[in-house]
Amino acid sequence: MLSGLLSGATFIFVSALRLISTIILTRILAPDIFGTFAVLLSILFVLTMFSDLGIRSLILTREESGLDVDFLRSCWTLQILRGGLLGIIILIIAGIIILLQNTGILLETSGYADPVLPATIGLSALSFLILGFEIPNKYIYEREMNFGILSVKEVILAIFSLVVVVSLALYLKNIWALVFASIISAAIQVFLSLVMFRGPAMQLTWHKEHIRVIFLRARWIISHSALTAITNVADRLIIGVFVSASDFGYYHIARQLIDMPTLLLNKIHSQVGLQLFSEIHKHETLDHFRADYYKYRQFFDTASMIGCGMLFVLAPLLIEIVYDARYEPVAHILQVLALGLPLSGFVVLREAFSAQRRFKKMTVLSIVQAASVWVGLLLALPVLHSTQAAFWVVSLHRTPEILLLLIMGRQEKWVLWKKEFRYVPLIFAGMGIGWLMDVVARNLLSIF
């Protein structure tokens, strides 16, 4: 748990730097720039996830005897080839968007219709090419739960990225500042991996047996990652088509804010969850498993429930203090998205199936999650023409997946229904805390 707390503390610090960066950038750049950049980020994310070979997961779970130098070098070689292939694919996507823009298929107000978008997409191919050279030695440190050096690397990268993007924004004052900053950050990330993580020197290696092992494992990883990708960016891909670039910019900022607590919980869980559930499955009886599972859940349920209530109440004040008047619409979007936070704790159970390598069950859960968000958004926007309904879909789309997950967990006798919803009243406690904070803060603001 100490490792998880260290990881969490690092994430909070890095997120604070990113929030500072966003606050500064909103003073320099117009909302429509964030909307166009959100479209770019969505495309990059989808490509990254659809091509995920699962190298991190493979190194974390592989037996010690299998982690020889040739295996690590084979992983690095495949990673470089993947980066080159993604670079070519993204150039093709840029060409397709140019054709769509020229044919007039896209709405003129859509973030996808911005004439600068194809060029920003094409230049972003450099990020994939550069990141392909990041060495896999860092996963050895993560495997050994040596999070100290990993945390230092994250902090250094965040600081340099902040300085770079703000400097470029002050100089360029357009979307190219964000694009160039992402490329430079990729280069810094690769450089840090080379100088901070000791291990075997990398060189191009094609070991047939190791490549076979990677691709065999990658079949399930890619299917799961692809489903995760089309789920996580469904909102950006669909909403971005039906709203203006400015409105999409508001949504992008709201998503950045709500993603901070969500990603914090996910970061802590991803660092320790897989290893923890693997050990629980190996050494404990069913009763002990349930006890340890619900003990582990306490932190996630408490944090997500209280956080939901607090953020729902404090969203208007937060946006009023942090951003200028142009970004006022972000507050309502943030309130709706905050109502999805309580679902975070329930998803922890997925790692129990992952630890047993039940990838088929994981894939089914991912299909249900993807179907929920895509069907919901396509009903909300093209059919009902309601952006408000779309925000509610994004907030609560994991509900069907969680119901199925609980049913599957009950079949395994892992889940006790009476313990699943015991922390829900903490949402109202969070609202009470948020109300008190709001009153105190507004009184202080009126004085000063």
Share of the chain above pLDDT 70, in %: 87
Report pLDDT digits (tens) over 18-62: 888 888 888 888 888 888 888 888 888 888 877 777 777 777 766
pLDDT at 64: 61
Question: CA angle, corner 256, sides to 92 and 401, nearest 5?
Answer: 85
User: pLDDT tens digits for 72-83?
Assistant: 888 888 889 988
* Domains of the chain, residue spans: 1-208, 233-448
The residue ranges of the chain whose pLDDT is under 70 are 1-8, 61-67, 107, 109, 145, 217-225, 267-284, 286, 354-359, 448
Phi, psi of 422 (to 5 degrees): -70, -20
Q: What is the Cα–Cα distance from 276 to 292, expressed in whole angstroms? A: 10
pLDDT attached to residue 232: 77
3-state secondary structure of 243: coil
3-state DSSP assignment of residue 414:
coil
Is 212:77 a contact under the CB 8 Å cutoff? no
pTM score, two decimals?
A: 0.73
Cβ-contact 254, 236 below 8 angstroms:
no
Q: Looking at residue 55, what is its pLDDT?
A: 76
What are the tens digits of pLDDT across the range 350-393? 777 766 666 677 778 888 888 999 999 999 988 988 989 999 99
- Cα angle value 238/243/244 (rounded, 5°): 130
CA atoms within 13 A on the CB side of 399: 9
